């Protein structure tokens, strides 16, 4: 089964180079929104706040969500520079969620990608405010002219991000996760909370690509389904990594889900069955995008990458 | 000096009735966004999260910010139902900021308007997420069609709210406030942090009214200046109340600014000079809006109300 979704080594190298280049472009664009030296005439944000936000946002992440948005837009014919800005907005929301999730009152994590978390480095009050600042900045970025010339597209992007990041999406999922912490969860419960907590933003990444490209209803439905599959695959891969990888590989505490009694799909299905489900999802994603031919290559490679990633 | 800005008793009664009616309309509209019984087919937010958000948002506040937005739009000729929704979005941001400000890592307040704060009632994790949820909901509401038929206006409203609530506005001001907690502040520092922390949202309330009304550049400049004056007056009145009112009147701990060594403008100017500055601001606001004649009556009464309020 693994063979059917494995990628040839050269194609894989091309993909990884592209992902790396995209992550660098995102990091660079985020820097312009969070400048170390603010413009002298700027009614500016406090330097300490910017420093805490940079710590949380410029952390060498893979930038999978913005990559998905940019590549979905590209597959659907939109290669405008505004997609990079919209992608940055999404990454700001992801980074804010990590900062708040790591807080002592939440997951109480000291380490993130091998570095002290924001509240460890800057204190708890500053971490709360850095998260609030990044979430707010996301909508500031998304509403600007340079994201898309059509204000209706910008308003739609804002609405979609707010819905998927909010109480019926990511924030709601985090609440469900906390509430189910010390009790047995059913498969349905786990699927629902993961679809909200991590799935919603990944699906939005793809759907927003269709918004930016002003895609047809049909194309939009396809990439939104692709985004849903990506969300499921991402979570299965993450749960697998939590039981198979070491802390050193992850840059965070491994096995945390098990020790904190968070039942995952792996603990319900077992490792092998989880792997099989994961690869079935990738096959579905490939079939779904097959009609787009060569244009879909990068998105399909992204799906494989998510399934096969080692950290 | 007091005489020049005092309001006749009947006019005052009319104003207070109008403010109360508006607050009730805002509370009712907020309820529709945070329904106690979610629609059965809703991919819905967890009930516990909604409860915590309701605790923080449906608290019988005076709803001054939304009132300013609605009345500014009305003075400039816009009486559309969408203004109520836009006003709700602004109130969500105000309520989120109170929830996060009250957290143990921030101001550590147990009481707000005579009730336990959200983290006291629902725990710290839920309070963080309720705040995050309200902030996100604000942009969800603001991007919807029913706020304004023109998507360019909606995008402008989003951008303005994000700017004024974000790192160069409210969030940035909160950071400055924390950083200056245990040292002497200059007048300039206090004015700057208050302009960001509380002034920005009050000014936005008025500017957004102009956006909703698609006002001329000139009218927009006038009401934005009016909003700036309101921000300054609000803070002076607040600082005065902190030294003159009792905890019972305030529904929160009185004298907190002094005991926590937060230098305010009152401690720099003295009580009498602060009162004089406050009334001078209200006179400026009256002169500014005089050209609008009878249409400006409610906004002017709002300015007086802010200066004279007892809690």
Asked if B132 has any chain A CB less than 8 Å from its own CB, the reply is yes
CB contact under 8 A, A128 and B106: yes
How far apart are alpha carbons A289 and A146 in whole angstroms?
29
For the segment B44-60, the average pLDDT, to the nearest whole number, is 94
For residue B124, count CB atoms less than 10 angstroms from its CB and return exposed for 0-12, middle for 13-18, buried for 19 or more: middle
Res A1 pLDDT > 50: no
Which distant-in-sequence residues (6+ apart) come within 8 Å of B81 by Cβ? B146
Asked if A172 has any chain B CB less than 8 Å from its own CB, the reply is yes
Strand partners, A111: A116
Q: How far is CA A112 from CA A24, A53, A56, B89, in A?
A: 19, 14, 9, 33
State the pTM of this model: 0.93
Which distant-in-sequence residues (6+ apart) come within 8 Å of B73 by Cβ? B79, B80, B83, B208, B209, B210, B212, B213
- Give the distance, in angstroms, between the CA of residue B85 and the centroid of all CA atoms in the same chain: 15
Asked if A152 has any chain B CB less than 8 Å from its own CB, the reply is yes
Distance from CA of A107 to the nearest CA of B (A): 9
Res B14 pLDDT > 70: yes
What is the pLDDT, as a whole number, of residue B138? 98
The helix or strand, by DSSP H or E, that contains position B144, with its residue range, turns out to be none
CB contact under 8 A, B167 and A45: yes
Asked if B163 has any chain A CB less than 8 Å from its own CB, the reply is yes
What is the pLDDT, as a whole number, of residue B281? 97
Which distant-in-sequence residues (6+ apart) come within 8 Å of A59 by Cβ? A95, A112, A113, A115
The mean of the pLDDT values for chain B is 91
- How many CB atoms within 10 Å of residue A139? 31
For the segment A167-184, the average pLDDT, to the nearest whole number, is 91
B146 contacts B125 by C-beta, under 8 angstroms: no
Which of residues A234 and B310 earns the better pLDDT score?
A234
The helix or strand, by DSSP H or E, that contains position B116, with its residue range, turns out to be strand B115-116
| A-proximal residues of B, 93-112, CB under 8 Å | 96, 100, 103, 105-106
Strand partners, A80: none
Distance from CA of B161 to the nearest CA of A (A): 8
CB contact under 8 A, B166 and A49: no
Asked if B44 has any chain A CB less than 8 Å from its own CB, the reply is yes
What is the pLDDT, as a whole number, of residue A255? 55
Band of pLDDT at residue B171, cut at 50, 70 and 90: very high
Which of residues A181 and A121 earns the better pLDDT score?
A121
How far apart are alpha carbons A126 and A105 in whole angstroms?
14
Q: How far is CA B217 from CA A158, B70, B74, B207, B237, in A?
A: 26, 19, 17, 11, 30
Q: How far is CA B90 from CA A127, A165, A257, B143, in A?
A: 23, 18, 38, 12
Q: How far is CA B40 from CA B43, B45, B54, in A?
A: 9, 11, 19
What is the pLDDT, as a whole number, of residue A262? 65
How far apart are alpha carbons B297 and B71 in whole angstroms?
10
B214 contacts B83 by C-beta, under 8 angstroms: no
Q: Considering chain A, what percentage of its residues have pLDDT values greater than 90?
A: 78
Which residues in chain A are contacts of B101 at CB distance < 8 A? Answer: none
- Of the listed ranges A90-99, A137-146, B182-191, B277-286, the one predicted with least confidence: B182-191
Whole-number CA gyration radius for chain B: 19
Asked if A193 has any chain B CB less than 8 Å from its own CB, the reply is no
How far apart are alpha carbons A310 and B16 in whole angstroms?
63
Res A3 pLDDT > 90: no
Res B16 pLDDT > 90: yes
For the segment A47-51, the average pLDDT, to the nearest whole number, is 96
For the segment A155-184, the average pLDDT, to the nearest whole number, is 94
What are the tens digits of pLDDT across the range B65-88?
999 999 999 999 999 999 999 999
For the segment B251-278, the average pLDDT, to the nearest whole number, is 75
Which residues in chain B are contacts of A143 at CB distance < 8 A? Answer: 155-156, 158-159, 162
Q: How far apart are the first and last CA of chain B?
A: 21
Closest partner residue to B175 (CB to CB) among A49, A144, A156 is A49
How far apart are alpha carbons A69 and A86 in whole angstroms?
8
- Give the distance, in angstroms, between the CA of residue B30 and the centroid of all CA atoms in the same chain: 15
Q: How many CB pairs under 8 A join A and B?
A: 162
Band of pLDDT at residue A9, cut at 50, 70 and 90: confident
Closest partner residue to A155 (CB to CB) among B46, B155, B172 is B155
How far apart are alpha carbons B302 and A40 in whole angstroms?
36
How far apart are alpha carbons B230 and B239 in whole angstroms?
14
Q: Nearest CA to B23 among B72, B74, B73, B57? A: B57
What is the pLDDT, as a whole number, of residue B2? 41
Q: Considering chain A, what percentage of its residues have pLDDT values greater than 70?
A: 89
Closest partner residue to B125 (CB to CB) among A105, A129, A142 is A105
Q: Which two tokens stand for residue A155?
A: 């308003």
Q: Nearest CA to A100 among A170, A14, A9, A1? A: A170
Band of pLDDT at residue B4, cut at 50, 70 and 90: very low
What are the tens digits of pLDDT across the range B99-158?
999 999 999 999 998 899 999 999 999 999 999 999 999 999 999 999 999 999 999 999
Q: Which two tokens stand for residue B292?
A: 């609008």
Closest partner residue to A49 (CB to CB) among B53, B124, B172 is B172
What is the pLDDT, as a whole number, of residue B256? 57
CB contact under 8 A, B171 and A125: no
What is the pLDDT, as a whole number, of residue B1? 39
Which of residues A34 and B253 earns the better pLDDT score?
A34
What are phi and psi for residue A61, nearest 5 degrees?
-65, 165
The mean of the pLDDT values for chain A is 91
Indicate which of A103, A159, A170, A171 best probes the interface with B, i.e. most B CBs within 10 Å of its own CB: A171
What is the pLDDT, as a whole number, of residue A2? 42
Asked if A57 has any chain B CB less than 8 Å from its own CB, the reply is no
Indicate which of B88, B140, B169, B172 best probes the interface with A, i.e. most A CBs within 10 Å of its own CB: B140
What is the pLDDT, as a whole number, of residue B9? 72
Q: Name the closest residue on chain A to residue B172, using Cα atoms.
A: A45
What is the pLDDT, as a whole number, of residue B36? 85
Asked if B27 has any chain A CB less than 8 Å from its own CB, the reply is no
What one-character-per-residue DSSP string does A125-158 give?
HHHHHHHHHHHHHHHHHHTSGGG-S-HHHHHHHH
Whole-number CA gyration radius for chain A: 19
- How many CB atoms within 10 Å of residue B193? 23
Alpha helices in chain A (DSSP H): 2-5, 9-33, 47-57, 64-75, 82-102, 118-122, 124-142, 151-165, 170-179, 187-194, 200-212, 217-244, 247-250, 256-259, 265-269, 271-289, 297-308
Which residues in chain A are contacts of B174 at CB distance < 8 A? Answer: 129
Res A86 pLDDT > 50: yes
What are the tens digits of pLDDT across the range A111-150?
998 899 999 999 999 999 999 999 999 999 999 999 999 9
Res B250 pLDDT > 80: no
């Amino acid at each position: 089964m693994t063979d059917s979704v494995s990628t040839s080594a050269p194609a894989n190298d091309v993909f990884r180079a592209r992902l790396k280049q995209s992550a660098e472009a995102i990091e660079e664009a985020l820097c312009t929104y969070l400048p170390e030296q603010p413009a002298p005439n700027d009614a500016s944000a406090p330097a300490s706040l910017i420093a805490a936000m940079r710590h949380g946002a410029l952390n060498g992440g893979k930038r999978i969500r913005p990559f998905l948005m940019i590549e979905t837009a590209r597959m659907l014919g939109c290669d405008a520079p505004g997609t990079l800005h919209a992608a940055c907005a999404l990454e700001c929301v992801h980074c804010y969620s990590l900062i708040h999730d790591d807080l002592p009152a939440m997951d109480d994590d000291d380490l993130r990608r091998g570095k002290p978390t924001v509240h460890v480095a800057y204190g708890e009050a500053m971490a709360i405010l850095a998260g609030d600042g990044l979430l707010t900045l996301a909508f500031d970025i998304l509403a600007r002219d340079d994201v898309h010339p059509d204000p209706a597209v910008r308003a739609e992007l804002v609405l979609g991000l707010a819905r998927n990041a909010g109480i019926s999406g990511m924030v709601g999922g985090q609440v469900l996760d906390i509430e189910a912490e010390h009790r047995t969860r059913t498969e349905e419960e786990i699927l629902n909370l993961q679809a909200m907590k991590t799935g919603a933003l990944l699906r939005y990444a793809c759907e927003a690509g269709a918004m930016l490209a002003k895609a047809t209803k049909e194309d939009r439905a396809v990439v939104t389904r692709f985004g849903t599959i990506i969300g499921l695959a991402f979570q299965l891969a993450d749960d697998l990594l939590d039981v198979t990888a070491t802390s050193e590989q992850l840059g965070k505490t491994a096995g945390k889900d098990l020790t904190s009694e968070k039942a995952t799909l792996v603990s319900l299905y077992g490792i092998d069955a989880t792997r099989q489900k994961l690869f079935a999802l990738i096959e579905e994603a490939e079939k779904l995008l097959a009609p787009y031919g060569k244009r879909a290559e990068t998105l399909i490679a992204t799906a494989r990458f998510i399934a096969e990633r080692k950290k």
